[in-house]
Amino acid sequence: MSTPIAFLKGHGAENDFVIVPDADNAIELSPAAVAALCDRRAGIGGDGLLHVVRSAAHPEARHLADEAEWFMDYRNGDGSIAEMCGNGVRVFARYLQHAGLVGEGDLAVATRGGVKRVHIAKPTSSGADGDITVGMGRAVLPEGEVTVSVADRHWPARNVNMGNPHAVAFVDDLAHAGNLYEPPPFSPQSAYPDGVNVEFVVDRGPRHVAMRVHERGAGETRACGTGACAVAVAAARRDGLDPAETGAPVTYTVDLPGGRLVITERPDGEIEMTGPAVIVAEGEIDPRWLASAAR
């Protein structure tokens, strides 16, 4: 490709993304190209990349085209493919609104983790963009004990799957998680053959927790939507709260380094995540640079 490639930059609770609009799926984004774009020193910089494609134009999403017009072809910052990204879905929806492709209200977005239901709220009284709520699906709680480690510390972790795998460990101090640049060791290895997102959690108050996370393929990020959902579910079960048993929704506030998310688990198991999503810049990628950087 010899013509410039449009891009935008956005974030949800400072979980940031390079956005590449490509309705017809005409742009080839190799893992090396994605990693180059997400490089914070030599590229645009981001925890991941949101490739915006019409579902009908992408072979992995054509079967979902009747349910959702748009497909979030999500890539981790290292170029690997991921099933889902909760903050990414909110930023994806904000981009569609920013581009005039959708308005306020309800929206369906296709992902590798299935179709996600999104609600774009009206602007606030001050004129700021309203929060975006995403239906994140149901959590699966696989059985079996898991342990995560940092240096000489070890913690039991709750295994939670939100379309991608999470190991949630409750700790006394978030500093005990270390730098989280590298994946924290876990055992048994058979629990997560393709790697895992690891969350470290402390209590802040009733139904209020704070967390840090190592995201598989990205390192420590400022926020992780599926991780926040996994943390809320793990905290609720630890606290003896199961909406399916009580018949009442359970809501947790989750503080992350980049901001705050509100997670609600409903009696039918559906989990909703609400938080901010912001578009901060847009421009053009030099195709010659990209071709060279992706080699």
Q: Would you say the CATH fold of 146-273 matches that of 5-131+277-293?
A: yes
CATH topology classification for 146-273: Diaminopimelate Epimerase; Chain A, domain 1 (3.10.310)
Per residue in 2-26, pLDDT (tens digit) is: 789 999 999 999 999 999 999 999 9
The separation between the first and the last C-alpha atoms of the chain, rounded to the nearest angstrom, is 15
Q: Where are the alpha helices (DSSP H) in 83-186?
A: 86-98
Catalytic residue (choose from 34, 110, 168, 224): 224
| Structure confidence at residue 126 as a pLDDT band (50, 70, 90) | confident
Which of these, 65, 122, 112, 60, lies nearest to 89 by C-alpha position? 112
Mean predicted lDDT score pLDDT of the chain = 95
**Do residues 65 and 56 touch, judged by C-beta distance below 8 A?**
yes
Domain ranges of the chain: 5-131+277-293, 146-273
Could you confirm whether 224 is annotated as catalytic? yes
Under DSSP, the state recorded for 81 is B
- 279-288: pLDDT as tens digits: 999 999 999 9
Residue 294: predicted pLDDT? 85
Q: Which two tokens stand for residue 242?
A: 């199961």
Active site residue 38: no
Q: Is pLDDT of 198 > 80?
A: yes
Nearest-CA neighbor of 231 among 163, 139, 149?
A: 139
Given this model, what pLDDT does residue 1 score?
A: 59
Asked whether residue 179 is marked as a ligand-binding residue, the answer is no
* pLDDT value for 117: 95
Strand partners, 289: none
Is residue 73 pLDDT above 80, yes or no? Answer: yes
Q: Is 215 within any annotated ligand binding site?
A: yes
The pLDDT value given to residue 48? 94
pLDDT at residue number 295 = 81
- Region of poorest pLDDT, from 128-132, 242-246, 269-273: 128-132
- Is residue 15 marked as binding? yes
pLDDT score of 85: 87
* pLDDT for residue 145: 86
Average confidence (pLDDT) over 267-281: 97
Is 258 marked as a binding-site residue? no
Which numeric CATH code is attached to 5-131+277-293?
A: 3.10.310.10
Please identify which of the residues 49, 84, 85, 102 carries the catalytic annotation: 85
76 has binding-site annotation: yes
